[in-house]
Homo-oligomer: A and B are copies of this chain.
Amino acid sequence: MNRRTVFFVSDQTGVTAETMGHSLLTQFDGLEFRPVTLPFISTPDKAEEAVRKINLVAQQEGVRPIVFSTLVQDDLRELVKRADGLFLDFFDAFLGPLESELAVRSSHTSGRAHSMADQTAYNWRINAVNFALANDDGAGARDYERADLILIGVSRSGKTPTCLYMALQYGVFAANFPLTDDELESGNLPATLRPYQRKLFGLTIKPERLQQIRNERRPDSRYASTQQVQYEVRAAEALFARAGVPSLETTECSIEEICSRILDRTGLERRTRP
């Protein structure tokens, strides 16, 4: 039996339970996991229903599911703990030591993380998303005064998803500017970017991977040709070096990793955290 059902049970969105479960399960190779998220388990009735779902799967599959839980209310946690599964609760494990250390009892009320408790953080994120969209791809606003960061790189080097993740996850104002043939030929930073040299960060990518991505978008085009892709990547990397722009090779990086590495290298402050 190499397949297990995994429940993510939460009194809120389930994002924390999913993140925690995902991190742990990626440590187990060769096993197959079927994920089921049960969010907003915030009453005894809903907890009982979650227990029934878990027990049903245990019975049907003949092996008990794994339950990653973030239930902060003791009574709900006790209910779900009785289900026929391996119960791993996050608050169970860590709230105790934290309470001792901080010498206070925690509120034990649900709905704190990812709630609107922090309106300021919410506003930062939304404003940062709007900023990223308005300052995407060198078009539109070019409000580089307000930018925390300006990503530059050739088309399809990952600039847009990176800017959006920066905004949603960290409330960072990230603009992006594409390096096109014009800029690459001149070998100099575009004039619009020069006043913001300190905010620039370059993204680069292996030509083979870039070609793959561009081919999906415009098959058999000049845009996706070996020659064009190799030229652009080489010219962009030369430009970064010449202009002293820090850069990152993203071929093997997830979006999370690109963002985290940029923050680490630039020392930019996170305005919000997940």
Q: Which of B115, B126, B133, B165 contacts A168 (CB 8 A)?
A: B165
Q: Which residues of B contact A115 (CB under 8 A)?
A: 26, 254, 257
A227 at the interface (CB under 8 A from B): no
Is A198 interfacial (CB 8 A cutoff)? Answer: no
Alpha-carbon separation in the docked complex, A228 to B142 (Å) = 31
Which residues from B are CB-within-8-Å of A168?
161, 164-165, 168, 255
A5 at the interface (CB under 8 A from B): no
State whether the Cβ of A60 lies closer than 8 Å to any Cβ in chain B.
Answer: no
Tell yes or no: A27 within 8 A of B by CB.
yes
A129 contacts B20, CB within 8 Å? no
Inter-chain contact A257/B13, CB cutoff 8 Å = yes
When distances are taken between beta carbons in the complex, the residues of chain B under 8 Å from A238 are none
Residue of B nearest to A31 (CB): B102
Q: Give complex CA distance A107, B112 in Å.
A: 33
Report the copy number of this chain in the oligomer. 2
Q: Does A29 contact B (CB under 8 A)?
A: yes
Partner of A133, one of B30, B95, B160, B165: B160
Q: Which of A49-57, A83-91, A239-247 contacts B (4 or more CB under 8 A)?
A: A83-91
**Contact between chains at A19 and B15 (CB < 8 Å):** yes
| Cβ-defined contact, B66 with A98, below 8 A | yes
* A interface bracket (residues with beta carbon within 8 Å of B): 35 or more
Q: Are B106 and A27 in contact (CB under 8 A)?
A: yes
A40 in complex: contacting residue of B130, B260, B274, CB < 8 Å: B260
Contact at A256–B98, with CB atoms within 8 Å? no
Across-interface contacts of A24 in B (CB, < 8 A): 90-91, 94-95, 98
In the assembled complex, the Cα of A44 lies from the Cα of B21 at a distance in Å of 26
CB contacts (< 8 Å) of A270 on chain B: these are 35, 37
Chain A residues numbered 248-274 whose CB sits less than 8 Å from any CB in chain B: 252-257, 259-261, 263-264, 270, 273-274
Q: How far is the CA of A169 from the CA of B40 in the complex (A)?
A: 18
Which residues does A use to contact B, with CB under 8 Å?
4, 12-16, 18-24, 26-31, 35, 37, 39-40, 66, 70, 72, 86, 88, 90-91, 93-95, 97-98, 101-102, 104, 106-109, 112-117, 122, 125-126, 129-130, 133, 136, 158, 160-161, 164-165, 168-169, 252-257, 259-261, 263-264, 270, 273-274
Interface pairs A-B: 8 shortest CB-CB: A26-B112, A13-B260, A27-B106, A114-B256, A23-B113, A19-B274, A86-B101, A16-B23
